[in-house]
Every structure is written in structure tokens, then in C-alpha cells.
A and B are shown apart, each in its own frame.
Chain A
Amino acid sequence: MGKSWTVGQQIAAGFLLPLLILIALGTFSYRSTQRLLATSESVTHAHEELTGLSSFLASLDETETGKRGYVITGREDFLQPYHTGKRGVTAELRQLEELFGADADQKERIVQLRPLVEERLREIDETIEARRIRGFDAALKLVVEGNGPKVMEQIRRIVTDMKTHEQKLLTERNSEAKQAAMWLSQILLFGTLVAVVIVAGVGMLVTRGLGARIGAAVQHIRSAAAELEAAATQQVKGAKGQVSAATEVSTTVRELVTTSRQISDSAQRVTQVASETALAARGGNQTVEGAQEAIEVVRRQVDQIVAHMLDLGRKSQEIGGILDIVSELSEQTNILAINATIEAVAAGETGRRFGVVAGEIRKLADRVGGSAKEIRRLIEEIRAAANTTVMATEDGAKAVEAGTRRFGDVAQSFRRIVEYVGSTAEASREIELSTKQQTSAMEQVASAIADVAQTARESESGSSQTLNTASQLSGLSGDLVRLIRREELPA
């Protein structure tokens, strides 16, 4: 049998072959039995035919007996056998026709027999009628002169032929019946033996195959049970560890819940401090904005100072231009005075006094020139001072502008501080909310961890049960192995 067959297929195949043998054996037996029954029926039929022939002759003899008694006695009561025999002959003859319906020879003999029987009965009837009507002698005469014995002899000869034929047939059928019975017996005997051998072989094969496979499976079950036992042991250890870990985690989570609440309180305080800081930063921002406005005013005033100083410089330049004209006029006057002096000298004694006046004019012109130079020096100093003031003012303006920018930066920084503090407050509020949510989640986690610990304990219990079950399964597999392979069991 193939190793790939399943146990059911092997068992079905093991049952199928003996079943086929039994079916064949039964078929043969049925057919042999049928044939034996047919042979027996033929024998019975032959016996019935022989019995019918005997009854026919007996009935015919009984009619002869009744005729003879009536002829001898003349009494009607002696005709009773005649009547019974006559009815019996008719019935037997009709029955014989039915019995020999299938046999042409016997049927032909029946056909030959019927006129003879009718003649014999007619001769008996005539004899009886003669006795009744004409008396004993007439009857005796008919008996003596009649051809009754011949007809009877013919009838007896035909019946004997028929019996002989039937005996022959009966012998043949008995032989056939014996042969059929012997054939049936041999079939039953040998078929049974063959079936027994085949069933035994198949049974042995199936037993070996199934035993091997079931043994292997049981070995696998045994090893699996051992592994399951080991795994259950490991699972028990793991479950114990899990219980311990769950307990530790539960403790840690409780500590986490406590810490989370502390964080929530701290975040709340941070939120409060951040709000106060935001208020302070807004106040600082307002102060800085006020200072920035004041600096802006200073910057505008410095711009005005610069404008005024530049205007002063321009005016000084205009004064310088006018002073140039004054200087030139002074110079021209001086030159005129020199020329007047020259002319006075050229005029001699008469021009002496004019020369004195010209000298005074020249001196005045020199003084004007000197004063103009002094004014120019002063103007240059004024312009230098104005330039210095403008530069200093521009530097101051730049410093103010830088201060303005710095105050702007400070204001921007304050605004950023306000924004950051607002963000910090918002973040701390979110932290507070998140921490509260975290605390709630931690409590849920603690509850879940407690459930996990409970589950781990239940798992430990279940693992212990699994270990017991695995041990029982290992024992059962060992028992199965012992049941299947007693000889292969380890000592």
C-alpha cells in the first residue's frame, strides 16, 4: 500500500479487497445455488412426473378394479373406485400434459397415450354398461373378447417408456445436482480459504502500515507533547516573569502618575509665572515705546539743529562773500590812497596836505582790510565751529538714530518676549492639559497593567494546566506507542 494513502484509504482498501472477494464468492455461490436449486427442482419435477405416471396407472388400475368389482358383483357401490379412478385418470392425464409440456418426447407419448386411455375407458364403460343392462355374461363376454389387455399393455408400455425416460432424466439431473453441490462446496471452501488468506494478508498489511504511520504520528505526538510540555514549562516561567514584570510596571506607572501630577502642578505654576511675565513684558514694551517716542522727538530736534547749523554755515558763507567785497573795496581804497599819495607827492608842496589826507585814507583802508581779515578769521572760526557742530550733531543724530534702532530692537525684543512668553504660557497650558491627559492615560494604563497582571496570573494558571495537559498527553502518547509498538518500546 502506498505510504501516501491516508489511514481511511488504507482501511477502506483493506476492507474493499475482501469485500470484492466476498462479492465474487457470493456471486459464484448464488449462481451455483441457483443452478443447484434448478437441478433440484428438475429432480423434484421428475419425481412429480414419475409420481404422476404412477398415479395415472393407479387410477387406471382403480377404474379396472371398480369395473371388475361391479362386473363381478353388480353392485353399484363397487363402482366407486371406477369413478374415482376415472376422474383421477383424467386429472392425472391433464396434469401429465402440463408436467411434460416442455419435453417433446414425453409430450408425444402423452399424445399417443390419450387415445389408448380413452379406448380403455370406453371399453370399461361399455363393460359396465353391458353388465348393468345385459348382465354378467354380456359383460364377461366383452371382457373376454375385448382388447382391453392389449390396450392396457400398450398403455403400460408407453408409461414404462415414459418412466424410463424420466428415470434417465432423473439420473442425469441427480448427477448434475451432485456436481453442482460439489462445485458449490468447493467454491465455498476454496473461496473462503482464499478470502481468509487475502483478508489476513490485507489485515496484516493494513495493520503494519497503520501501525507504522500511527506509531510515527504517535511518536510525533509524543515529541510534540514533550515540546509542548517544555513550552508550557517555559510559558509558566514566562507567565511568572510577566506577572512580576506587570507588578513592577504597575508600581512604576503609579509612580509615573504621581510624577505626572507633580508635573501638572509645576506646569500650572509655570503658566501663572508666564502670565505675570507677559504682563511685565507688556509694561516694559510700553515703556520702551514711550522712550522710543521721546528719542524720536530728540532725533527731530537734532535734525532741526543740523538744519539750523547748516543754515548758519550758509549765512557765514554769504557773510564771507560780502566780506570779500568789503576787502576788495578796502583794497581798492588802499590803492586809491596810494595813488592819491603819489599824486600828492607829484604835486609838490601844494599836495602835501592832500598827501596827509590820502595817508589817513590809506590807513583807514588798512584798518578796514585788517578788520575784514579779522572778520574773515572769525567767520572761518564760526564756519569751522558750525561744521564741527554739524558733524557733532550729525554724529549725535547718528547716535540717536542708532539709539532709536536699538530701542526699536529692544521694543521688538520686548514684543518677541511677549510673544515667546505667550507661547510659553500657551505651551505650559498645553503641557498642563497634556500632563492631565497623560495622568488620566497613566491611570488607565495602571488599570490596564493590573488587568495584564491578572491576565498574566490567569495565564500562569492556564500554563500550569497546559503543562499538566501536556504531561498527560505525553503519557497518553507513550501509552499509544506502547499499544502500537510493544516490541519497540524502550526498556
Chain B
Amino acid sequence: MNVHSQERDKPSEGAQRPGVAIASERHVAELRRAFDASFAAPPRDAERSGELVLAIEAGGQGYAIRLSDIDGVHECRKLVPLPGSPPGLLGLTGIRGRLFAVHALGSLLGLPAANETPRWLLIAGGAEPVAIGVASIEACLEVNPADLVQVEAMDGEGHVREIVTLAGRARGVLALESLVAIAKQRAGDHREGAQ
């Protein structure tokens, strides 16, 4: 008789199975109740809403970005590499009829895994927007502004000026202006170098 049959013959297994089924049923009932309650609850006061941040991952590290710093989030579908592009410039992509230069967030942050394939593109830059590629978007969370803690140039480049704790894990809140500026600067330097 093998291990599986021995495990199958354990009396504790038979005792656990009803417990697992009951917990699952409770979990499903709770989900259903929460789902129904979301539609039954009154609209929340907009004044009391907190700051929305995106928990992202780039270069193997977790960061947070204020939702107000970006112009949009899109899926990175097709990426056309540019010949002779500077480091961190992954290529061009089209989003709703517009071309965007895609820069790797890890490369802009100077992380080792700079050229990872981005899953999502964060649009930022105002009138001359660029697309910053991130590996994943873990969550979009609403945090209390009091939870955003000011710090002094944590990474030495000035890209992280605040720290927020999400799900028990401290993350640096990236300042996209500086990152967009670095991206544009690299593109400009490269263009000048090419001319």
C-alpha cells in the first residue's frame, strides 16, 4: 500500500473534509454578502476619500505610484523595438491611435533587471507623454494621506520621496516627474548623439 493510500486511509482526513466544506460554504456566503452589500451601501463621501496608489513591481522590487501622477494604464500588447535605442528604451507601441515611447521603469530606476518585458504601461508626461513599462500591477489601493511618509531621497536619485505601507509591506512611492524627465533626457541625449 503506497503513501497515497495510507494518507487516504487516515481517519483525520475524513474528519477534516466536512470542516473544509463548511468553511468553503461560509466563504462563499461571505463573498455573496459583501457583493450584495456593495450595491446596497450608500455612496461614500468624496471628501473623505483617501489617496489612490498603485502597488507595482519593477526590477524585482515593489513600489507604489500615486494614481494622480499618471494619465492612464494600458496593457502592453505589441512593442516595436527601435534600432540603436538607448538603454531602457524598449521601443514604440501604439495605444488608441497614438505612438508612445516605452521606457523600462527598472532601467529608469537603475535596477539590475532593467530590460524585463513589461506587462503594463503607465502613461505619464503631460503634453509629451511617455509610456513606462512595469512588470505587474499588484493592486490599486486607497490609502490615508497620513500613511504617506515623507523621506529624504531614499534611493539617491530623488525618485522616491515617500513611503507607504501596503498589506504590511513598506513600499517607496515613486515620483514620476523625475522619471519622465530622465526618460526624455535619455531620448534627447541619444537623438543628439545620433545627429
- Point out the residue from A337, A342, A355, A391 that lies within 8 Å of B72, measured CB to CB: A342
Question: Which residues of A sit under 8 angstroms from B46, Cβ to Cβ?
Answer: 352-353, 355-356
Tell me whether A322 is interfacial, beta carbon within 8 Å.
Answer: no
Q: Which of A194-202, A212-220, A366-374 contacts B (4 or more CB under 8 A)?
A: A366-374
B72 touches A339 (CB 8 A): yes
B73 touches A339 (CB 8 A): yes
Question: Interface size of B by Cβ–Cβ distance < 8 Å?
Answer: 31
Question: Which residues of A sit under 8 angstroms from B54, Cβ to Cβ?
Answer: 338
A345 touches B67 (CB 8 A): yes
B75 touches A342 (CB 8 A): no
- Point out the residue from B71, B120, B142 that lies within 8 Å of A342, measured CB to CB: B71
Alpha-carbon distance between A195 and B54 when the two chains are bound, in angstroms: 177
Tell me whether B34 is interfacial, beta carbon within 8 Å.
Answer: yes
- Point out the residue from A345, A353, A360 that lies within 8 Å of B68, measured CB to CB: A345
A359 touches B2 (CB 8 A): no
Given contacts A335-B120, A374-B27, contact A353 B4 (CB under 8 A): no
Tell me whether A171 is interfacial, beta carbon within 8 Å.
Answer: no
Interface centre among A342, A362, A364, A388 (most CB of B within 10 A): A342
B4 touches A338 (CB 8 A): no
Question: DSSP majority for the A interface?
Answer: helix
Interface residues on A, range: 20 to 34
Tell me whether B19 is interfacial, beta carbon within 8 Å.
Answer: no
Measured CB to CB, the closest approach of chain A to B58, in angstroms, equals: 17
Q: Which of A235-243, A270-278, A392-400 contacts B (4 or more CB under 8 A)?
A: A392-400
Question: Which residues of B sit under 8 angstroms from A339, Cβ to Cβ?
Answer: 72-74
Tell me whether A141 is interfacial, beta carbon within 8 Å.
Answer: no
Alpha-carbon distance between A363 and B70 when the two chains are bound, in angstroms: 20
- Point out the residue from B34, B71, B74 that lies within 8 Å of A367, measured CB to CB: B34
Tell me whether A332 is interfacial, beta carbon within 8 Å.
Answer: yes
Tell me whether B140 is interfacial, beta carbon within 8 Å.
Answer: yes
B142 touches A359 (CB 8 A): yes
Alpha-carbon distance between A362 and B27 when the two chains are bound, in angstroms: 21
Measured CB to CB, the closest approach of chain A to B180, in angstroms, equals: 16
The 5 A-B residue pairs whose C-beta atoms are closest, nearest first, are A392-B4, A352-B46, A395-B2, A338-B73, A335-B73
A-B contact pairs, 10 of them (CB 8 A): A335-B73, A335-B74, A339-B72, A342-B67, A346-B71, A355-B49, A356-B43, A359-B49, A378-B24, A388-B7
Give residues in A with beta carbon < 8 Å to B.
Answer: 332, 334-335, 337-339, 341-342, 345-346, 352-353, 355-356, 359-360, 362-364, 366-367, 371, 374, 378, 388, 391-392, 395-396, 399
